[in-house]
Structure 1
Amino acid sequence: MNIQWYPGHMTKTRRMMEETISLVDIVIELVDARIPYSSKNPDLDTLAKNKRRIILLNKCDLADEKATALWTEYFEAQGFCVIKMNSLKGTGMNEVTDAARGLMKEKIEKLKARGRINVPIRSMIVGIPNVGKSTFINKYVGKTMAKTGDKPGVTRGKQWIKIKKDFELLDTPGILWPKFEDQEVGLKLAFTGAINDDILDAETLAISFIDHILLRNGDCIKKRYQIAFDTIEEPHVVLRQIADARGFKQKGGEPDLERASKILLDEFRGGKLGRITMELPQDIEEMLGAKVEKERLKAAEDRARKQNFKKKNK
């Protein structure tokens, strides 16, 4: 299943971010705690390379706690300030302002020494579509400032939001990156709802999701739908069992796999399958190591071809 989704408004958003990044001191990025690596926009490492960075592991209530602890260590080792966040309940909210002030402490003290008091810390808030950014802002501010929705792409324009005398947020629309080099990343984004469902085939996506879950925690599906299967079972067979368990039938008595697919994905996104993290730091390190090795072998093959070409043409 090849997944790419980069509508025109995202190109405009990236351009706007490039134009305004110089106005901010800190970049705060929300990522989905269930897929911290896949939901972290790699373009920001270039765009915000000279800025202080805070990562909010949002939806931590839907992710495995031990896995979230591992991801916290992973990002902190890279120099990020990391906060576990549940935007709906407000968990972690109080830590954000304190963290921002801590990162800016040296600059604030220098400004005070020159008689400049309450100069606002300016932060840009960024994240992929449907990661809960608008929900975070509304909870953080204490009133409805940003539109929220259960589909990606609700926020379409930038807006400055004053939190206190010394703190301002620049809200930006959700943005992905133009091309997913690893289709596993695209799939995980689709599982969590960061990709517009309208461009996806629900049944194909659900089968891919089951394939992923069977490798990690097939018991969560067994418990939720009260079905039994071996962990080596084919994903499409498990999907049929889910349809049967819920009584989803088409005319003629065949299982309604499309309806079962949509229910499965909705219930995963809503946390009804339990606390699930779909990737771990060790998975990413193995993937990156394999990528480096693949590039090394390709470079060696290219050198060998060039050498053979030179020998033939002497």
Structure 2
Amino acid sequence: MAIQWFPGHMHLTKKAISERIKEIDVVIELLDARLPGSSANPMLAELTSRRPALKVINKQDLADPARTALWLAHYNALPNTRAIELDASETAPARRLIQAARELAPLRGGMVKPMRVLICGIPNVGKSTLINTLTGKRAAKTGDEAGITKAEQRISLADDFYLYDTPGMLWPRIIVAKSGYNLAASGAIGRNAFDEEEVALELLDYLLQNYPALLQARYKVELTDGITDEQLLEAIGRKRGAVLPRGKVNLQKAAEIVIHEFRAATLGRITLETPEEFAQWLAAGQLIDAERQVKKDGLENQRLIRLKKIPRPPRAAS
């Protein structure tokens, strides 16, 4: 299944970022600590014109701390980039990002050259919650669903520090299949764009390999050797009473339970990817995408030849 979700307002966000970036000193990108690679928007590197980048690994209280450390090291090793982790609802850690942004643009500051910062992130990554924490008031709408913020806002965090908030934006086509599932599991993608049962199965498959103890502790099911994600989802449904007439498990209800408990962290602190895993998924996705583009270009050339828009290539000599 290819999961895609790019509502109309996201096209407007892309345009707004392209215009705003001309006067921006630092770009803050909020990442979901449970999926720091999948939640990084590949369009931003192009849109932000190589501005200094502050990667804020948010919701770290929901994520595996050992894996968060790996991701911090990964992003801090990139040029012109800093990374910090925080929980957007905590006031003291949230204030750290102001200092980190100033360090990335040391020549900006004061009333003559105020700091201008753009904050970006995928939907439901906690951006609005963070902004409300920074300002100490409800400057931005929040909610546990994708697409709450719909328009750009300018927020003054100090006399010489302006923060420009943008709506959450995904990218038009997700080429890493695993990222699509992880984004759906996290709540970054609108629920009408994916099948809960399929996402829950992908999630359980990963958790069986990487967090079996958390599954066993939460659902009190026996994880026998060779148990499949389908068998586990059915066992969870029976344990939780998601049973239809004649004893059949309601797999849709069981899937909703699994996804909800992952998002709420009642399953435990979980991170769905390491830097090494994501690099492998990305390389595979890029290869498939390149092959798809070659095929697409070939079909387009054939169409143009039929319409006599371009000449037919000469036949090879026999």
TM-score, with length taken from structure 1: 0.88
Once the two structures are superposed, the pairs formed by residues 205-220 of structure 1 within 5 Å of their partners are 205-220=199-214
- 1:313 equivalent in structure 2: 317
Letter in 1 for 2:84: I
Residues of 2 paired with 1:86 and 1:137: CA distance? 12
Once the two structures are superposed, the pairs formed by residues 221-260 of structure 1 within 5 Å of their partners are 221-230=215-224, 232-260=226-254
Residues of 1 paired with 2:233 and 2:200: CA distance? 8
Worse overlay, 214-223 or 182-191: 214-223
Once the two structures are superposed, the pairs formed by residues 24-173 of structure 1 within 5 Å of their partners are 24-79=24-79, 80-90=81-91, 92-108=93-109, 117=111, 119-173=113-167
Instruction: Summarize the Cα distance change of 1:273–1:158 in structure 2 as closer, same or farther, 3 Å threshold.
Output: same
Report how many residues are paired: 298
Instruction: Summarize the Cα distance change of 1:293–1:10 in structure 2 as closer, same or farther, 3 Å threshold.
Output: closer
TM-score, with length taken from structure 2: 0.87
| 8 Å CA contact 2:145, 2:190 repeated in 1 | yes
RMSD (Å), alpha carbons:
2.3
| 8 Å CA contact 2:176, 2:285 repeated in 1 | no
Residues of 2 paired with 1:104 and 1:295: CA distance? 36
- SS class of match (1:119): coil
Residues of 1 paired with 2:200 and 2:7: CA distance? 23
Letter in 2 for 1:128: I
Identity %: 37
Query: 5+ residue gaps in structure 2?
Result: 293-312
TM superposition outliers: structure 1 runs of 4+ over 4 Å: 288-298, 309-312
- 1:182 equivalent in structure 2: 176
| 8 Å CA contact 1:215, 1:231 repeated in 2 | no
Query: 5+ residue gaps in structure 1?
Result: 109-115, 299-308
Residues of 1 paired with 2:189 and 2:225: CA distance? 28
Instruction: Summarize the Cα distance change of 1:225–1:83 in structure 2 as closer, same or farther, 3 Å threshold.
Output: same
Deviation, 1:289, is 5.1
Deviation, 1:297, is 10
1:20 aligned to 2:20? Answer: yes
Residues of 2 paired with 1:2 and 1:290: CA distance? 15
Residues of 2 paired with 1:2 and 1:245: CA distance? 31
- SS class of match (2:53): strand
